[in-house]
């Protein structure tokens, strides 16, 4: 029986720090409003001179993860790449990263599950390893979101929440039961697809690019019913964490750390409260990066790795909720 475990994690964020005060120059907002509603103090936006497209940021994060795992590109069997902000409409960013890493003809799989993208990808990679098909997989989440944000007053409800960044993990086969990825749990509810979406470019208008597209503000900017997203996130994340614990005959007392997707500090605090977790058992970094969508969970893990806070034998729950709706969890015994 094969199992998978994470042997290295890495991350990359652009150097360009954009504070709430910087956003005050662009729109009618305030540092106080943003901090009070979301906890965000600053985020990173890539600038063209950094050459930081989604695949390139993923490349930097992947190199760090591979170095920490002690593997080279030649050791990898596949890439599973999550993003909602791919470099091209098609192909996905996975093949671009595959080329940058020099992975010959190894497969690259693109996953579109937005904020749950990394956990969906981890689940796909875990299944490949459990089946014995692959031994070592690079799992990546990377997002370049600032170019799709309306950073004027009209787009402020969404524009202040998101940031850019990338994270990656090397997943490897091992044979010790009860260690590594214990289980993953995935859900979606497509009836809420339009609650949080970006309509264009898409085929819903017969052609991908149509005349006048750039005049249709609602089509080319992300749309969100923030309150509805909030309510569903605080319901679904605790639910799917409990699903993972129950599946493994474990309880909240067994958990050493919860790493929740970083959409809003108030969402994380509510999830923490509902699960009755003490402060030391939850890790948040939204204050520095905003919501980096599929990159968030691996960035959290990479920061914990750097702080030497990931300890062998400890139990970690990862959970995410986002556009789709999609939500997911993973339970890891390190």
Ligand X SMILES: CC(C)(COP(=O)(O)OP(=O)(O)OC[C@H]1O[C@@H](n2cnc3c(N)ncnc32)[C@H](O)[C@@H]1OP(=O)(O)O)[C@@H](O)C(=O)NCCC(=O)NCCS
Residues binding ligand X (CB under 6 A) = 29, 33-34, 37-38, 115, 156-157, 160, 196, 224, 226-227, 229-230, 233, 263-264, 267, 291, 322
CB of 231 to ligand X, least distance (A): 9
* Annotation says 21 is catalytic: no
* Secondary structure class of 4 (helix, strand, coil): strand
Give residue for tokens 């690079």: 138
Q: Pick from 129, 139, 116: which is nearest to 8 by CA?
A: 139
CA distance 6 to 136: 10
Judge whether 303 and 11 are in contact, CB under 8 Å: yes
Nearer to ligand X (CB atom), residue 214 or residue 217 = 217
CB of 304 to ligand X, least distance (A): 21
Judge whether 290 and 282 are in contact, CB under 8 Å: no
Catalytic choice (11, 146, 261, 264)? 261
Nearer to ligand X (CB atom), residue 122 or residue 237 = 237
* Annotation says 261 is catalytic: yes
Nearer to ligand X (CB atom), residue 201 or residue 226 = 226
CA distance 224 to 145: 15
CA distance 325 to 323: 5
Find how far residue 111's CA is from the centre of its chain.
Answer: 11
* Secondary structure class of 231 (helix, strand, coil): helix
Residue 128, phi-psi category: left (phi > 0), alpha (psi -120 to 50), beta (remainder): alpha
CA–CA distance from 27 to each of 21, 31, 55, 220, 320 (Å)? 10, 11, 30, 19, 29
CB of 285 to ligand X, least distance (A): 15
CA distance 102 to 106: 9
Catalytic choice (115, 146, 221, 232)? 115
Judge whether 58 and 87 are in contact, CB under 8 Å: no
CB of 37 to ligand X, least distance (A): 4
Please name the residues in contact with 258: beta carbons below 8 A apart, sequence gap of 6 or more. Answer: 241, 271, 272, 275, 277, 281, 282, 283, 316, 317, 319
CA distance 99 to 31: 41
CB of 190 to ligand X, least distance (A): 16
Nearer to ligand X (CB atom), residue 138 or residue 158 = 158
Measured from each CB, the residue nearest to ligand X is: 226
CA quadruple 255, 312, 265, 160: dihedral, nearest 10: -150
Nearer to ligand X (CB atom), residue 123 or residue 291 = 291
Nearer to ligand X (CB atom), residue 49 or residue 227 = 227
* Annotation says 11 is catalytic: no
CB of 264 to ligand X, least distance (A): 4
Nearer to ligand X (CB atom), residue 7 or residue 145 = 145
CB of 230 to ligand X, least distance (A): 4
The catalytic residue positions are 115, 261, 291
């Amino acid at each position: 029986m094969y199992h998978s475990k994470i042997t290295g994690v890495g991350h990359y964020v652009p150097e360009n720090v954009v504070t709430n005060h910087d956003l005050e120059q662009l729109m009618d907002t305030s540092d106080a409003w943003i901090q009070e509603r979301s906890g965000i103090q600053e985020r990173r936006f890539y600038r063209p001179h950094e050459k930081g497209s989604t695949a390139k940021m993923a490349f930097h994060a992947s190199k760090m993860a591979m170095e920490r795992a002690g593997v080279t590109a030649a050791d990898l069997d596949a890439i599973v790449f999550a993003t909602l902000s791919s470099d091209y409409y098609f192909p996905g960013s996975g093949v671009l990263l595959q080329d940058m890493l020099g992975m010959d003809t190894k497969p690259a799989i693109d996953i579109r599950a937005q904020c749950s993208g990394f956990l969906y990808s981890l689940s796909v990679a875990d299944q490949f390893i459990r089946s014995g098909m692959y031994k070592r997989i690079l799992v990546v989440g990377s997002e370049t979101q600032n170019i799709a944000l309306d950073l004027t007053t009209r787009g402020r409800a969404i524009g202040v929440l998101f940031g850019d960044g990338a994270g990656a993990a090397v997943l490897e086969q091992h044979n010790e039961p009860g260690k590594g990825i214990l289980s993953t749990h995935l859900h979606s509810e497509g009836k809420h697809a339009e609650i949080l979406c970006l309509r264009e470019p898409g085929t819903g208008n017969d052609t991908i690019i149509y005349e006048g597209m750039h005049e249709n503000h609602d089509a080319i900017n992300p749309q969100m019913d923030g309150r509805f997203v909030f309510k569903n996130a605080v319901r679904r994340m605790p639910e799917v964490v409990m699903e993972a614990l129950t599946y493994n005959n474990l309880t909240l007392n067994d958990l050493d750390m919860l790493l929740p997707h970083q959409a809003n500090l108030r969402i994380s605090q509510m999830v923490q409260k509902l699960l009755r977790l003490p402060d030391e058992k939850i890790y948040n970094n939204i204050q520095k990066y905003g919501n980096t969508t599929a990159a968030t969970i691996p960035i959290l893990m990479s920061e914990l790795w750097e702080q030497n806070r990931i300890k062998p034998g400890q139990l970690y729950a990862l959970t995410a909720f986002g556009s789709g709706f999609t939500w997911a969890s993973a339970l890891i015994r390190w």
